[in-house]
Amino acid sequence: MEVTTSWEGHEETTSWGTCDVPSSLAAGATSGGTDYTCPDPIKIPEIELYYSSVHFTITSAQNSCKVMSFRPYFYVKSTAAAYNTGAAVVDCSGAVAAPPIDCYGGAGTLIIPSFPTNGGIYFLTVEGTLTATYDVISANLQRQVSAAFSGWITVGYRMMPARPRVPPELLANS
């Protein structure tokens, strides 16, 4: 997996790091299974994150690992019974029902299908070579753009909704 950023509306990217499964572990993963977590977190300065889109690119050869999981960062914004999102007041306490997506923040809320029911995305490499890319617009643009825009990202042969998606004409004017 590689993590890159691009300044709002610009195509040039900066790579902040990669996480590669060692070939010795990947080779054994097809016969018995080995869990591997990247030892060094990929760190991006806060100011860079606020004004940059973040791009996650995940690649894997067929059968290099039986299952790959991707759990992008998310956090709990509130556990209050009456949390004001700015658009509505929602119950984040979990006392009556599971807290809705409005009670969470971070990239995971934007790219994980059925979040918060699902906390990650799993890929079965037996289906073929994997290449998946996830783009999350900057926090600054997320403040400015309505969630009424929607787009699609492709993962293998499946289409998964991504929200919000900024139309190119809005990026050009920002």
Per-domain residue ranges of the chain = 2-71+120-172, 72-118
Cross-strand bridge partners of residue 6:
53
Q: What confidence score (pLDDT) does residue 143 get?
A: 65
Q: What confidence score (pLDDT) does residue 62 get?
A: 62
Is a pLDDT exceeding 70 seen at residue 131? Answer: yes
166: left (phi over 0), alpha (psi -120 to 50) or beta: beta
Is a pLDDT exceeding 70 seen at residue 29? Answer: no
Cross-strand bridge partners of residue 54:
5, 136
Listed residue (109, 113, 21) closest to 68, CA to CA: 21
Q: What confidence score (pLDDT) does residue 151 get?
A: 39
Is a pLDDT exceeding 60 seen at residue 111? Answer: yes
